[in-house]
Structure 1
Amino acid sequence: MAKIVSVHSFRGGTGKSNTTSNLATTIALAGNRVGIVDTDIQSPGVHALFGLDEEKIDYALNDYLWGNCAIKEAAYDVSQILQVEQGQAAAPNSALYLVPSSIKATEIAQILNEGYDVELLNDGFQDLIHSLKLDYLFIDTHPGINEETLLSIAMSEILVLILRPDTQDYQGTAVAIDIARELEVPNMLLVVNKVLTKFDFEALRQKIQKAYNVPVAGVFPLCEEMVELASSDIFCLRYPNHPWTQEINKVAGQILS
């Protein structure tokens, strides 16, 4: 039975797409068939991390929602990135697929103007799981709370909420947690991102965990290497021994368990 993992943040700029992509890649490397759906249709970004540009995308999630293709036709096999260097090797049966949202301005505008049938997303997620025989499906959500986000959260077996050590993020995360509890999400994990290295990470972890009564799965440093990479690659593959990657491995381990 495949697990659906939604990765969400109440505000933008938390590093949600990078976290989603690195978690999905790490779990695929462990020998799982993993899919990612970029449902942040208004501001898509996951495609950049996997090197997909406009010329390589024949169908996107938008096309499925408009009835132009099956969801499987919008899924791109990006498993080649798992054949990494530096002595790493993907476990047998590893596979990674991405359903991007369109990066064409006209199609983004059309979604904003016309909307779409959110219930189709549910059908699409299930079709994708069955047609690609997925073990895990990651949903990269749109920040904030809207109909699509509520559906994704409600469908999830695991909800990963990302926040920064910021007052606005703290308040927004509290709202998201309350909603997830009302929707009876079975498992929630918090990820604290972009933390200055001068902070006491363990003290911050304990403070946030106590405030929300939700496990803090990882506390990630704000690092220059991530800024330099500029969303052009999967960080955990480029820097396999970096503290940021070690934290991703811890979060992935909690999802796998």
Structure 2
Amino acid sequence: MAQSKKKDSAPPTVQYFAAVLRLLRERAGFTQDELGALMNYTGSAVSAVETCAKPPTDEFIDAAEKALDAGGLLRSAIKYLRLERYPVYFQGFVQLEQEALSIASYCTQVIHGLLQTEGYIRALLACNYPPFEDAEFEQLVQGRLDRKAIFERKPRALIHVILEEAALRRQIGGPEVMSRQYEHLVECAARPGVSIQVMPMNQAEHAGLRGPFTVIETPEDTSLVYTESHGESILVSRPDKVAALTRRYAMIRTQALRPDESVSFIEQLMGER
């Protein structure tokens, strides 16, 4: 009964992948343990995917594709499974983000998702209320990690993030998690095409006080603005509104610490650990 409930509550693509995996495995004459051994996974890991208790990772899919000689049938699901790892309200933005020429984000409460470590991601998602079910939690963690593929994309996207000092000082996950998060931010700032700025709290009055937002430049050379709050999102496309918010972002950028000053600021926080 519990397994049936998990299957019914899983996203449609996860359910379909589970059914196809089981069909291919049974046609090949493998038990779950036998297939797992070929994939360097346990039989229980195969069972978890087939029962929708856990969504498949990209690595799991690649291993199953090879072990079952699936002719691309399993691997072709990766694109669609990745999308279903995100909340419905966020799926449209993820598609835009992964194709964007440039991304410019102003963040107030937490560190930008593209810049988060896995430890920070897990601690942040654990704060959700009501709490996520285990399978949904793991799915959201993997989805956020998947977004980092943008850093390896060619042509490279230009990424600029302004972080409020409060987001840096908030001890999500505790000192150890934050220490690694600070290190990761410094590493990210050294990447080509990535720029990070900090809005210090002593800049009491600035243009960003109305809240966070992201400006996206699409491959069609148009700009859009994305905002979200409490599981709801807005995608702004009206040219005059986009232009106004783009100008606002430019002002916030001038009021924040310079990129080099920002890295020094983060390194100072590291030294306070």
Q: TM tier, shorter chain?
A: under 0.3
TM-score (norm 1): 0.28
> Which one scores higher on RCO, CA 8 angstroms, separation ≥ 6?
1
TM-score (norm 2): 0.27
